[in-house]
């Protein structure tokens, strides 16, 4: 049986969008192929690596094991929403400065998990960081630099809050 079409309406990176999509389309495929937001990566397709992590109503989820129609009426945020033009978000900067990016495949997902964590817990301890990042795997960095990047981002964001 062929896929039927579904009228999807959601808030994507702060903007209301509406698209006719096949009802069985995965959220990652909608983001990458329909919306051309190719920052989020499709790797394992089985909820085992975190490369496809996006935020749904502020909480990280795996877009590879979520259907696009499950995002109906919700807010989805992807890595593309973070930088302001050419100015990187402090989390992105911290990942670069801490050497937490090597091949970069896991990075968009890592950064979205970091964003959700720092929204909820602006100054997380190491254990808290490890638990919040447990659903994102990295084959390159060995994780230490990633933990340092989250700490650095937390410090810089705290500094900015104090300065402003």
Partner 1 sequence: MRVTKPATLAEAIRFLSTNPEAKILAGGTDLLPRLNQKLEYHDLLCCLDDLPELQGISLTAGGGLYIGASLRLWELAETPALAGYLAIQQAAAKVASPQIRNQATLGGNLLQENRCMFFNNQVPWSDVNKCFKWGGNQCFQYKGSKECVALFQSDLAPAMMAHGAQAVLTGSGGERRMPVAELYLSAGRKAIAHDEVLTGLVLPPLPAGSRSAYRRWTIRGSFDFPLVSCAVRLKVEAGAVADCAVVFGSAGIMPKAIDTSLIMGMAAGDPQGLAQKLMPLINKAVAPFRDTRVNAGVRVDMAKDCMAKALAAVCSG
Ligand X SMILES: Cc1cc2nc3c(=O)[nH]c(=O)nc-3n(C[C@H](O)[C@H](O)[C@H](O)COP(=O)(O)OP(=O)(O)OC[C@H]3O[C@@H](n4cnc5c(N)ncnc54)[C@H](O)[C@@H]3O)c2cc1C
Q: Which long-range contacts (CB under 8 A, 24 or more apart) does 38-46 make?
A: 39/78, 39/79, 39/80, 39/108, 40/78, 40/79, 40/108, 40/109, 40/112, 41/105, 41/106, 41/108, 41/109, 43/105
Site for partner 1 in 103-122 (CB under 8 A): 113, 116
- DSSP type of residue 143: S
Q: How far is the CB of 118 from partner 1 (least distance, A)?
A: 14
Contact flag: residue 48 with ligand X (CB under 6 A) = yes
Contact flag: residue 140 with ligand FES (CB under 6 A) = yes
Contact flag: residue 47 with ligand X (CB under 6 A) = yes
Q: Which does 31 bind (CB under 5 to 8 A by kind): ligand FES, partner 1, ligand X, none?
A: none
Contact flag: residue 141 with ligand FES (CB under 6 A) = yes
Q: How far is the CB of 63 from partner 1 (least distance, A)?
A: 9
């Amino acid at each position: 049986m062929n896929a039927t079409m579904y009228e999807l309406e959601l808030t994507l990176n702060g903007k209301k969008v509406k698209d006719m999509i096949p009802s069985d389309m995965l959220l990652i495929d909608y983001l990458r192929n329909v919306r051309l937001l190719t920052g989020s990566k499709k790797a394992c397709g089985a909820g085992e690596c975190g490369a496809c992590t996006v935020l749904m109503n502020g909480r990280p989820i795996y877009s590879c094991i979520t259907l696009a129609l499950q995002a109906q009426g919700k807010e989805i945020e992807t890595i593309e929403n973070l930088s302001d033009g050419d100015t990187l978000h402090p989390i992105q900067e911290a990942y670069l400065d801490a050497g937490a990016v090597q091949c970069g495949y896991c990075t968009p997902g890592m950064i979205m998990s970091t964003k959700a964590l720092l929204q909820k817990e602006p100054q997380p301890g190491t254990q808290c960081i490890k638990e919040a990042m447990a659903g994102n795997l990295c084959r390159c960095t060995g994780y230490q630099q990633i933990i340092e990047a989250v700490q650095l981002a937390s410090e810089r964001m705290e500094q900015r809050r104090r300065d402003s």
